[in-house]
Structure 1
Amino acid sequence: MEQEDMQALKGKHVAVLATDGVEAFEYLGPRDFLEQHGVRVTLISPKPKGEAIQSFDRGTQGARFLVEMDVRDARPVHFDGLLLASGEANPDRLKQSPEALAFIREFSLQDKPIAALGQGPRTLIDAGIAKAKHVTSWPGLQEELRKAGAEWTDDEVVVDGKLVTSRDPDDLPAFNRTLLQELTLPMGTDPGVTS
Protein backbone atom coordinates (compact mmCIF):
# COMPACT_ATOMS: atom_id res chain seq x y z
CA MET A 1 0.00 0.00 0.00
CA GLU A 2 1.23 3.47 -0.91
CA GLN A 3 2.44 5.79 1.86
CA GLU A 4 -0.22 8.40 0.97
CA ASP A 5 -2.95 5.73 1.26
CA MET A 6 -1.66 4.82 4.72
CA GLN A 7 -1.85 8.50 5.66
CA ALA A 8 -5.42 8.66 4.33
CA LEU A 9 -6.37 5.77 6.65
CA LYS A 10 -4.98 7.48 9.75
CA GLY A 11 -7.81 8.16 12.18
CA LYS A 12 -10.40 6.15 10.20
CA HIS A 13 -13.01 4.32 12.26
CA VAL A 14 -15.16 1.44 10.95
CA ALA A 15 -18.25 -0.01 12.59
CA VAL A 16 -18.89 -3.75 12.30
CA LEU A 17 -22.58 -4.51 12.80
CA ALA A 18 -23.16 -8.09 13.96
CA THR A 19 -24.98 -10.27 16.45
CA ASP A 20 -25.38 -13.96 17.32
CA GLY A 21 -24.83 -16.17 14.30
CA VAL A 22 -22.03 -14.16 12.71
CA GLU A 23 -19.49 -16.24 10.80
CA ALA A 24 -16.25 -15.97 12.82
CA PHE A 25 -13.81 -15.95 9.90
CA GLU A 26 -15.85 -13.43 7.92
CA TYR A 27 -15.88 -11.10 10.93
CA LEU A 28 -12.27 -11.55 12.04
CA GLY A 29 -10.73 -11.56 8.54
CA PRO A 30 -11.82 -8.02 7.60
CA ARG A 31 -11.41 -6.73 11.15
CA ASP A 32 -7.82 -7.96 11.46
CA PHE A 33 -6.99 -6.64 7.97
CA LEU A 34 -8.36 -3.17 8.74
CA GLU A 35 -6.61 -3.00 12.10
CA GLN A 36 -3.30 -4.04 10.50
CA HIS A 37 -3.68 -0.98 8.26
CA GLY A 38 -4.28 1.37 11.17
CA VAL A 39 -8.07 1.53 11.00
CA ARG A 40 -9.94 1.54 14.32
CA VAL A 41 -12.75 -1.06 14.37
CA THR A 42 -15.70 -1.26 16.77
CA LEU A 43 -18.08 -4.21 17.09
CA ILE A 44 -21.62 -2.82 17.31
CA SER A 45 -24.64 -4.98 18.07
CA PRO A 46 -28.29 -4.83 19.12
CA LYS A 47 -26.98 -6.55 22.26
CA PRO A 48 -25.73 -4.29 25.08
CA LYS A 49 -22.08 -3.28 25.37
CA GLY A 50 -20.10 -5.88 27.31
CA GLU A 51 -22.34 -8.81 26.39
CA ALA A 52 -21.01 -11.45 24.01
CA ILE A 53 -22.25 -12.51 20.61
CA GLN A 54 -21.97 -16.17 19.62
CA SER A 55 -20.15 -16.75 16.34
CA PHE A 56 -20.23 -19.84 14.16
CA ASP A 57 -17.43 -21.51 12.24
CA ARG A 58 -18.81 -23.45 9.27
CA GLY A 59 -21.97 -24.50 11.09
CA THR A 60 -20.53 -25.22 14.54
CA GLN A 61 -20.32 -22.83 17.47
CA GLY A 62 -17.21 -20.70 17.37
CA ALA A 63 -15.75 -17.98 19.56
CA ARG A 64 -17.75 -15.43 21.49
CA PHE A 65 -16.96 -11.76 20.85
CA LEU A 66 -17.62 -8.91 23.27
CA VAL A 67 -19.91 -6.17 22.03
CA GLU A 68 -18.02 -2.88 22.09
CA MET A 69 -21.03 -0.60 21.49
CA ASP A 70 -24.80 -0.99 21.64
CA VAL A 71 -26.33 0.04 18.29
CA ARG A 72 -28.76 2.26 20.20
CA ASP A 73 -25.77 4.37 21.30
CA ALA A 74 -24.02 4.38 17.90
CA ARG A 75 -24.21 7.26 15.42
CA PRO A 76 -22.99 6.89 11.82
CA VAL A 77 -21.55 10.40 11.95
CA HIS A 78 -18.81 9.02 14.26
CA PHE A 79 -17.70 6.35 11.75
CA ASP A 80 -16.07 6.35 8.31
CA GLY A 81 -17.44 3.02 7.13
CA LEU A 82 -19.73 0.11 7.96
CA LEU A 83 -19.01 -3.60 7.65
CA LEU A 84 -21.95 -6.02 7.57
CA ALA A 85 -20.44 -9.34 8.56
CA SER A 86 -21.82 -12.61 7.22
CA GLY A 87 -23.28 -15.69 8.83
CA GLU A 88 -26.57 -17.36 8.03
CA ALA A 89 -28.35 -16.45 11.29
CA ASN A 90 -26.73 -13.02 11.72
CA PRO A 91 -28.87 -11.13 9.12
CA ASP A 92 -32.07 -12.80 10.36
CA ARG A 93 -31.39 -11.53 13.86
CA LEU A 94 -30.27 -8.05 12.75
CA LYS A 95 -33.53 -7.48 10.87
CA GLN A 96 -35.38 -7.85 14.19
CA SER A 97 -33.64 -4.68 15.42
CA PRO A 98 -35.20 -1.46 14.08
CA GLU A 99 -32.18 0.42 15.45
CA ALA A 100 -29.75 -1.77 13.47
CA LEU A 101 -31.70 -1.22 10.23
CA ALA A 102 -31.91 2.53 10.87
CA PHE A 103 -28.14 2.58 11.50
CA ILE A 104 -27.52 0.98 8.07
CA ARG A 105 -29.95 3.34 6.31
CA GLU A 106 -28.24 6.34 7.86
CA PHE A 107 -24.85 5.21 6.51
CA SER A 108 -26.41 5.06 3.05
CA LEU A 109 -27.98 8.52 3.44
CA GLN A 110 -24.61 9.93 4.54
CA ASP A 111 -22.98 8.30 1.48
CA LYS A 112 -20.38 6.48 3.55
CA PRO A 113 -18.85 3.13 2.55
CA ILE A 114 -20.91 0.05 3.39
CA ALA A 115 -19.27 -3.35 2.83
CA ALA A 116 -21.25 -6.60 2.96
CA LEU A 117 -19.88 -10.10 2.48
CA GLY A 118 -21.55 -13.48 1.92
CA GLN A 119 -24.97 -13.41 3.61
CA GLY A 120 -24.41 -9.80 4.71
CA PRO A 121 -26.19 -8.27 1.68
CA ARG A 122 -29.46 -9.77 2.96
CA THR A 123 -29.42 -7.02 5.58
CA LEU A 124 -29.36 -4.43 2.77
CA ILE A 125 -32.79 -5.71 1.70
CA ASP A 126 -34.17 -5.38 5.24
CA ALA A 127 -32.74 -1.86 5.53
CA GLY A 128 -34.41 -0.92 2.25
CA ILE A 129 -31.26 0.03 0.37
CA ALA A 130 -30.80 -2.88 -2.07
CA LYS A 131 -33.16 -1.52 -4.73
CA ALA A 132 -31.42 -0.38 -7.94
CA LYS A 133 -27.99 -1.39 -6.57
CA HIS A 134 -25.49 -3.60 -8.40
CA VAL A 135 -24.41 -6.26 -5.91
CA THR A 136 -23.04 -9.73 -5.43
CA SER A 137 -23.47 -12.08 -2.46
CA TRP A 138 -23.54 -15.70 -1.40
CA PRO A 139 -25.11 -17.26 -4.53
CA GLY A 140 -28.13 -18.53 -2.60
CA LEU A 141 -29.24 -14.91 -2.04
CA GLN A 142 -29.33 -13.87 -5.69
CA GLU A 143 -33.09 -14.35 -6.18
CA GLU A 144 -33.89 -12.57 -2.93
CA LEU A 145 -31.74 -9.61 -3.97
CA ARG A 146 -33.22 -9.51 -7.47
CA LYS A 147 -36.76 -9.54 -6.04
CA ALA A 148 -35.72 -6.57 -3.89
CA GLY A 149 -34.78 -4.69 -7.08
CA ALA A 150 -31.01 -5.22 -7.05
CA GLU A 151 -28.91 -6.21 -10.05
CA TRP A 152 -26.99 -9.34 -8.98
CA THR A 153 -23.85 -10.65 -10.69
CA ASP A 154 -21.52 -13.51 -9.81
CA ASP A 155 -18.33 -11.48 -9.30
CA GLU A 156 -15.54 -11.59 -6.74
CA VAL A 157 -16.29 -8.03 -5.63
CA VAL A 158 -18.80 -5.44 -6.84
CA VAL A 159 -18.64 -1.71 -6.12
CA ASP A 160 -21.70 0.47 -6.69
CA GLY A 161 -21.07 3.98 -5.44
CA LYS A 162 -20.05 3.49 -1.81
CA LEU A 163 -21.45 -0.06 -1.57
CA VAL A 164 -18.95 -2.96 -1.67
CA THR A 165 -20.20 -6.57 -1.83
CA SER A 166 -18.52 -9.97 -2.18
CA ARG A 167 -19.66 -13.61 -2.33
CA ASP A 168 -17.80 -15.72 0.22
CA PRO A 169 -14.56 -16.22 2.22
CA ASP A 170 -12.58 -16.97 -0.96
CA ASP A 171 -13.22 -13.36 -1.99
CA LEU A 172 -11.88 -11.87 1.27
CA PRO A 173 -8.55 -10.62 -0.15
CA ALA A 174 -10.28 -8.63 -2.91
CA PHE A 175 -13.08 -7.55 -0.55
CA ASN A 176 -10.62 -6.28 2.06
CA ARG A 177 -8.50 -4.39 -0.50
CA THR A 178 -11.59 -2.78 -2.02
CA LEU A 179 -12.98 -1.69 1.35
CA LEU A 180 -9.61 -0.20 2.25
CA GLN A 181 -9.56 1.69 -1.06
CA GLU A 182 -13.06 3.08 -0.37
CA LEU A 183 -11.89 4.32 3.02
CA THR A 184 -9.01 6.25 1.44
CA LEU A 185 -11.29 8.17 -0.95
CA PRO A 186 -12.15 11.69 0.15
CA MET A 187 -15.74 12.23 1.34
CA GLY A 188 -18.05 13.02 -1.57
CA THR A 189 -15.93 11.10 -4.09
CA ASP A 190 -17.98 8.74 -6.23
CA PRO A 191 -15.79 6.06 -7.81
CA GLY A 192 -18.70 5.03 -10.03
CA VAL A 193 -19.91 1.52 -10.62
CA THR A 194 -17.36 -1.24 -11.14
CA SER A 195 -17.11 -4.97 -10.81
Structure 2
Amino acid sequence: MSDLNNKTIAVIATDGFEDSELTSPLEAVKEAGASVKVVTPNAEAIEGKNGTKVDADLSTAEAATQEFDGIILPGGTGNSDHIRMDEHAVALVKQHVEAGKPLGAICHAAWILTDADVLKGRTITSYPSLQTDLRNAGASWVDEEVVEDRGLVSSRTPDDLPAFNAKLVEVFA
Protein backbone atom coordinates (compact mmCIF):
# COMPACT_ATOMS: atom_id res chain seq x y z
CA MET A 1 0.00 0.00 0.00
CA SER A 2 1.28 3.44 -0.89
CA ASP A 3 1.92 5.93 1.89
CA LEU A 4 -0.06 9.16 1.88
CA ASN A 5 1.03 10.40 5.33
CA ASN A 6 1.58 14.18 5.27
CA LYS A 7 -0.60 14.51 2.13
CA THR A 8 -3.78 16.58 2.04
CA ILE A 9 -6.39 15.54 -0.49
CA ALA A 10 -9.43 17.66 -1.43
CA VAL A 11 -12.74 16.11 -2.43
CA ILE A 12 -14.79 18.67 -4.38
CA ALA A 13 -18.52 17.96 -4.55
CA THR A 14 -22.04 19.22 -3.97
CA ASP A 15 -25.50 17.71 -3.51
CA GLY A 16 -26.40 14.86 -5.84
CA PHE A 17 -22.98 13.19 -5.91
CA GLU A 18 -22.83 9.47 -6.69
CA ASP A 19 -22.52 8.17 -3.12
CA SER A 20 -19.94 5.40 -3.65
CA GLU A 21 -17.84 7.60 -5.97
CA LEU A 22 -17.26 10.00 -3.06
CA THR A 23 -17.13 7.65 -0.07
CA SER A 24 -15.02 4.86 -1.57
CA PRO A 25 -12.07 6.99 -2.84
CA LEU A 26 -12.24 9.13 0.33
CA GLU A 27 -11.86 6.00 2.50
CA ALA A 28 -9.08 4.63 0.27
CA VAL A 29 -6.89 7.73 0.62
CA LYS A 30 -7.65 8.01 4.36
CA GLU A 31 -6.63 4.36 4.86
CA ALA A 32 -3.36 5.17 3.07
CA GLY A 33 -2.73 7.96 5.60
CA ALA A 34 -3.98 11.10 3.85
CA SER A 35 -5.76 13.99 5.49
CA VAL A 36 -8.97 14.73 3.54
CA LYS A 37 -10.79 18.05 3.16
CA VAL A 38 -14.32 17.99 1.75
CA VAL A 39 -14.86 21.13 -0.33
CA THR A 40 -18.38 22.28 -1.22
CA PRO A 41 -19.66 25.48 -2.87
CA ASN A 42 -20.87 27.04 0.40
CA ALA A 43 -18.99 24.97 3.04
CA GLU A 44 -22.27 23.29 4.02
CA ALA A 45 -22.90 19.56 4.38
CA ILE A 46 -23.93 17.78 1.16
CA GLU A 47 -26.12 14.78 0.39
CA GLY A 48 -25.56 12.12 -2.22
CA LYS A 49 -28.27 10.94 -4.56
CA ASN A 50 -28.71 7.83 -2.43
CA GLY A 51 -28.86 9.74 0.87
CA THR A 52 -25.25 9.68 2.13
CA LYS A 53 -24.59 12.88 4.09
CA VAL A 54 -21.07 14.32 4.17
CA ASP A 55 -19.89 17.29 6.24
CA ALA A 56 -17.88 20.01 4.54
CA ASP A 57 -14.55 21.43 5.67
CA LEU A 58 -14.20 24.40 3.30
CA SER A 59 -16.03 26.36 0.63
CA THR A 60 -14.70 26.30 -2.93
CA ALA A 61 -13.83 30.00 -2.52
CA GLU A 62 -11.73 29.24 0.59
CA ALA A 63 -10.15 26.19 -1.03
CA ALA A 64 -9.19 28.12 -4.17
CA THR A 65 -6.54 29.92 -2.09
CA GLN A 66 -4.99 26.69 -0.79
CA GLU A 67 -2.68 24.01 -2.10
CA PHE A 68 -3.64 20.33 -2.06
CA ASP A 69 -1.48 17.31 -2.83
CA GLY A 70 -4.35 15.74 -4.77
CA ILE A 71 -7.98 16.33 -5.73
CA ILE A 72 -10.79 13.79 -6.05
CA LEU A 73 -13.84 14.63 -8.17
CA PRO A 74 -16.74 12.21 -7.62
CA GLY A 75 -19.43 11.77 -10.25
CA GLY A 76 -23.17 12.04 -10.18
CA THR A 77 -24.83 13.95 -13.01
CA GLY A 78 -26.35 16.71 -10.85
CA ASN A 79 -23.23 17.11 -8.73
CA SER A 80 -20.95 17.31 -11.76
CA ASP A 81 -23.20 19.74 -13.63
CA HIS A 82 -23.42 22.09 -10.62
CA ILE A 83 -19.71 21.91 -9.70
CA ARG A 84 -18.66 22.87 -13.24
CA MET A 85 -20.73 26.05 -12.86
CA ASP A 86 -18.83 27.04 -9.67
CA GLU A 87 -16.10 29.45 -10.79
CA HIS A 88 -14.00 28.81 -7.66
CA ALA A 89 -14.11 25.04 -8.16
CA VAL A 90 -13.14 25.41 -11.82
CA ALA A 91 -10.29 27.79 -10.95
CA LEU A 92 -9.00 25.42 -8.25
CA VAL A 93 -9.05 22.44 -10.62
CA LYS A 94 -7.37 24.42 -13.41
CA GLN A 95 -4.61 25.73 -11.11
CA HIS A 96 -4.06 22.27 -9.60
CA VAL A 97 -3.76 20.42 -12.93
CA GLU A 98 -1.62 23.15 -14.53
CA ALA A 99 0.75 22.89 -11.54
CA GLY A 100 1.26 19.22 -12.45
CA LYS A 101 -0.49 17.90 -9.35
CA PRO A 102 -2.54 14.69 -9.44
CA LEU A 103 -6.31 14.62 -9.76
CA GLY A 104 -8.86 11.82 -9.97
CA ALA A 105 -12.18 12.13 -11.81
CA ILE A 106 -14.78 9.38 -12.08
CA CYS A 107 -17.93 9.09 -14.18
CA HIS A 108 -19.49 12.52 -14.93
CA ALA A 109 -16.84 14.38 -12.88
CA ALA A 110 -14.72 14.86 -16.00
CA TRP A 111 -17.14 17.61 -17.07
CA ILE A 112 -15.36 20.12 -14.82
CA LEU A 113 -12.10 19.36 -16.66
CA THR A 114 -13.68 20.67 -19.87
CA ASP A 115 -14.57 23.94 -18.12
CA ALA A 116 -11.08 24.14 -16.59
CA ASP A 117 -9.62 23.68 -20.09
CA VAL A 118 -7.00 21.13 -19.01
CA LEU A 119 -7.69 18.24 -21.40
CA LYS A 120 -5.77 19.14 -24.57
CA GLY A 121 -3.48 16.25 -25.52
CA ARG A 122 -4.56 14.00 -22.63
CA THR A 123 -6.08 10.53 -22.65
CA ILE A 124 -9.09 10.10 -20.38
CA THR A 125 -12.08 7.88 -19.70
CA SER A 126 -15.47 8.75 -18.21
CA TYR A 127 -19.08 7.76 -18.28
CA PRO A 128 -19.62 7.08 -22.02
CA SER A 129 -22.09 9.95 -22.56
CA LEU A 130 -19.30 12.50 -21.91
CA GLN A 131 -16.96 11.28 -24.68
CA THR A 132 -18.03 13.92 -27.24
CA ASP A 133 -17.62 16.76 -24.70
CA LEU A 134 -14.19 15.47 -23.68
CA ARG A 135 -13.02 15.02 -27.26
CA ASN A 136 -14.26 18.53 -28.11
CA ALA A 137 -12.14 19.79 -25.20
CA GLY A 138 -9.04 18.21 -26.75
CA ALA A 139 -8.87 14.85 -24.99
CA SER A 140 -8.44 11.41 -26.46
CA TRP A 141 -11.32 9.39 -24.94
CA VAL A 142 -10.96 5.65 -24.31
CA ASP A 143 -13.33 3.06 -22.83
CA GLU A 144 -11.16 1.57 -20.08
CA GLU A 145 -11.57 0.74 -16.39
CA VAL A 146 -8.96 3.27 -15.27
CA VAL A 147 -6.67 5.61 -17.20
CA GLU A 148 -3.74 7.63 -15.87
CA ASP A 149 -2.21 10.36 -18.01
CA ARG A 150 0.41 12.62 -16.40
CA GLY A 151 -1.28 12.57 -13.00
CA LEU A 152 -4.86 12.69 -14.28
CA VAL A 153 -6.61 9.50 -13.12
CA SER A 154 -10.03 8.73 -14.60
CA SER A 155 -12.62 5.95 -14.45
CA ARG A 156 -16.08 5.30 -15.88
CA THR A 157 -18.54 4.09 -13.22
CA PRO A 158 -18.85 2.75 -9.64
CA ASP A 159 -17.93 -0.69 -11.04
CA ASP A 160 -14.44 0.71 -11.68
CA LEU A 161 -13.90 1.93 -8.08
CA PRO A 162 -11.44 -0.79 -6.98
CA ALA A 163 -9.10 0.01 -9.90
CA PHE A 164 -9.72 3.78 -9.58
CA ASN A 165 -8.95 3.81 -5.85
CA ALA A 166 -5.78 1.73 -6.23
CA LYS A 167 -4.48 3.98 -9.04
CA LEU A 168 -5.41 7.16 -7.10
CA VAL A 169 -3.47 6.08 -4.03
CA GLU A 170 -0.48 5.07 -6.18
CA VAL A 171 -0.46 8.37 -8.14
CA PHE A 172 -1.11 10.55 -5.06
CA ALA A 173 1.85 8.89 -3.30
- Structure 2 length-normalised TM: 0.95
Report the Cα offset of residue 75 of structure 1. Answer: 4.3
1:14 alignment partner, SS class: strand
Question: Of the two, which has the highest radius of gyration?
Answer: 1
* Distance of 1:54 and 1:111 partners within structure 2: 31
Report the Cα offset of residue 85 of structure 1. Answer: 0.8
2:18 equivalent to 1:52? no
Query: Who is 2:19 aligned against?
Result: 24
2:81 equivalent to 1:92? yes
Query: Does structure 1 retain, via aligned residues, the 8 Å contact 2:13–2:79?
Result: yes
The higher-RCO structure (CA 8 Å, 6+ apart) is 2
2:28 equivalent to 1:42? no
Report the Cα offset of residue 172 of structure 1. Answer: 0.7
Q: What's the CA shift string for 1:134-186, capped at 9, x where partnerless?
A: 000011111121122210000111111010100111111111111111112xx
* Distance of 1:76 and 1:12 partners within structure 2: 17
Query: Does structure 2 retain, via aligned residues, the 8 Å contact 1:157–1:167?
Result: yes
Q: What's the CA shift string for 1:94-142, capped at 9, x where partnerless?
A: 1221111000001012110010001111111111112221000011111
Query: Does structure 2 retain, via aligned residues, the 8 Å contact 1:19–1:47?
Result: no
* Distance of 1:154 and 1:171 partners within structure 2: 11
Query: Who is 2:123 aligned against?
Result: 134
Residue 35 and residue 67 in structure 1: after superposition, are their counterparts in 2 closer, same or farther (change >3 A)? same
1:119 alignment partner, SS class: helix
Q: Percent identity?
A: 38
Report the Cα offset of residue 15 of structure 1. Answer: 0.3
1:120 alignment partner, SS class: helix
Amino acid in structure 1 at the alignment position of 2:71: L
* Distance of 1:161 and 1:71 partners within structure 2: 24
Amino acid in structure 2 at the alignment position of 1:31: L
Residue 75 and residue 98 in structure 1: after superposition, are their counterparts in 2 closer, same or farther (change >3 A)? closer
- Unaligned segments of structure 2, at least 5 residues: none
Amino acid in structure 1 at the alignment position of 2:141: W
Query: Who is 2:148 aligned against?
Result: 159
Query: Who is 1:175 aligned against?
Result: 164
- Unaligned segments of structure 1, at least 5 residues: 185-195
1:158 alignment partner, SS class: strand
1:92 alignment partner, SS class: helix
* Distance of 1:76 and 1:169 partners within structure 2: 31
* Distance of 1:169 and 1:54 partners within structure 2: 17
How many corresponding residue pairs? 173
* Distance of 1:76 and 1:27 partners within structure 2: 23
RMSD across aligned positions (CA): 1.3
Amino acid in structure 1 at the alignment position of 2:171: E
Report the Cα offset of residue 54 of structure 1. Answer: 2.2
* Distance of 2:45 and 2:170 partners within structure 1: 31
